[in-house]
Amino acid sequence: MPQTGKTQRAPARTSKITPNAALIDIADTLFRTASTACVEHRRYADLVEKGASDSEQKSARFAARSSDDALDEAVDLYELACLKESNHGDDAWWHKANMIWKAAKEYLQHHDSSDKLTRVSAEQHGMAALMELTIEYKLEASALLRLRHTVDAYREVRPEASGALESVTQ
């Protein structure tokens, strides 16, 4: 079967944990993946701002893209898990995870839109197209900031979800 841009995923592994525990684990995965994406984008932005070497910027850009791909997969996994188990209206972690999910979806949508606008040929970049691209970049940046805030909010209600991530992001 031909690939269509996304890498094929391995089949989900089955385990003998409760659905509630599984959803919490998947929410924690979404949180850690979103946190990593925010860190990698911040790292890349810092390197560009400091004028780091092209090879270092290229490496950081690759890491940011990889983290976006992982975030996209984590969003899909969380959506599927919530379809099967969504009886957590009273759980703070569930509300915070849903906020991450929504912010991640918004960020990924704006990121995809700005990528598509960037790929338009130079001849098609009139004043209106450049204005649209500028707006889309600003929306993407805003969505990434919102994602960072939702990650911080989740960390407050599930500090144990951070694990080894704390030493990396601090």
Q: Distance of CA 137 to CAs 67, 84, 109, 146, Å?
A: 18, 35, 11, 14
> In 3D, which of 9, 37, 28, 126 has the Cα closest to residue 81?
28
- Asked whether residue 11 is domain-assigned, the answer is no
DSSP conformation class of 122: G
For 120-147, the pLDDT digits (tens) are 755 666 788 888 888 989 999 999 999 9
If one counts the domains in the chain, the total is 1
- Asked whether residue 7 is domain-assigned, the answer is no
Residue 18 has pLDDT above 60, yes or no: no
Residue 6 has pLDDT above 70, yes or no: no
- Asked whether residue 150 is domain-assigned, the answer is yes
Concatenated DSSP letters for 55-109?
A: HHHHHHHHHHHHHHHHHHHHHHHHHHHHHH----TT-HHHHHHHHHHHHHHHHHH
The reported pLDDT for the residue numbered 9 is: 43
Q: How confident is the model at residue 35 (pLDDT cuts 50, 70, 90)?
A: very high
For 101-115, the pLDDT digits (tens) are 999 999 999 999 988
- Asked whether residue 47 is domain-assigned, the answer is yes
- Asked whether residue 9 is domain-assigned, the answer is no
The reported pLDDT for the residue numbered 20 is: 58
Domain extent at residue 119: 19-169
- Asked whether residue 101 is domain-assigned, the answer is yes
- Asked whether residue 12 is domain-assigned, the answer is no
